[in-house]
Amino acid sequence: MTAYALSAQDVAHRKATTLGEVVQKDLIEAFRAWPLWTMLGWDDIRQRYQRSTLGPIWITLSMALFIGMLSVIYGILFKLDIVAYLPYLAAGYILWGFISSCIVESCSAFQASAGVIRQIRLPFGIYVLRTLWRNFIVFLHTAVIFVVVALVFGLKPGLIALLALPGFCLLYINLIWVGLTLAIISTRYRDVVLLVTTTVQIAIFITPIIWHVDRLGQWAVIAYLNPLFHLIDIVRGPLLGTTPMLLSWVVAAALAIAGWTIAILLLRRASPRIVFWL
């Protein structure tokens, strides 16, 4: 009975009538609470690997093994230059691992913290930022693979590699609104989690990660119509020493603007109801 009373009071306090109030209460306050969600993210990592000797390093080793085996198999089957293909595959697959895990785990961001949401009034954005931060920590472990590959194969992207920083920031900005949107929808409709998981598993085959756009010829339009390709291109391109297409920057920026607009509108409508959906 007490939990229900707290929830009703929490909902009444959360309710916002303007977009400005939504941004202030649930987004700006969430970013300001960065010590909380970074601490929670670190705690998630510790709990996940508390009985493991190597911890997150297992993810690094398994991904390194997968990338190595895949590069050899595809190199032989399609007669690819392993010196050029392995860095391309490593950068793309590491980024894909980060993107896909953020998308899938964001679906359960609110459900995983249901007990906290029912009893404590916190900005909803905190739970999504916690999820992304947790996956960013894992991403830093796997990024070591690309550093090793670059050193072994003598990859020297030069100053152009600095473009990967704004590219990754733009990618992260897009992942936040995607995570927030999926967290809301998945809390209301639980089947969305399965749908998103299946879609992500299929998306890797239609996204230029293990294959090159150049090899598609006239079918390259398939890649250009895929927003995931552009989000990956603005990070992978500079790491490989190539300048990303202007189209990729435009698409990534347009996605951020349109996506955040949708996410804020959805949050405004759903925030009073989320606690009851849980």
Segment 16-39, tens digit of pLDDT: 456 667 776 788 888 999 999 999
Q: For residues 14 and 26, give the distance between their C-alpha atoms in angstroms, rounded to a whole number.
A: 9
Give the C-alpha separation, 178 to 174, whole Å: 6
Q: What is the DSSP string of 215-267?
A: GGGGGGHHHHT-HHHHHHHHHHHHHTT-PPPHHHHHHHHHHHHHHHHHHHHHH
Q: How many domains does the chain have?
A: 1
Domain residue limits at 214? 16-277
pLDDT, greater one: 176 or 213: 176
Q: Indicate whether 4 belongs to any domain.
A: no
Report yes or no on 10 lying in a domain: no
Sign of CA dihedral 42, 44, 46, 48: negative
Residue appearing with tokens 């392993």: 82
Q: 11 in a domain, yes or no?
A: no
Note the pTM of the prediction, 2 decimals: 0.88
Does residue 1 form part of some domain?
A: no
State phi, psi for 110 to the nearest 5 degrees. -80, -40
The candidate with the shortest Cα–Cα distance to 133, out of 59, 66, 38, is 38
When pLDDT is averaged across residues 188-211 and rounded to a whole number, the result is: 91
- Please check whether residue 142 is in contact with residue 62, taking contact to mean a CB–CB distance below 8 angstroms: no
Specify if 223 maps to a domain: yes
Question: Does a structural domain hold residue 170?
Answer: yes
Mean pLDDT (the chain) is: 86
For the segment 172-195, the average pLDDT, to the nearest whole number, is 94
Judge whether 230 lies within some domain.
yes
3-state secondary structure of 49: coil
Domain membership flag for residue 113: yes
Res 3 pLDDT > 50:
no
Residue with token string 């390259």: 220
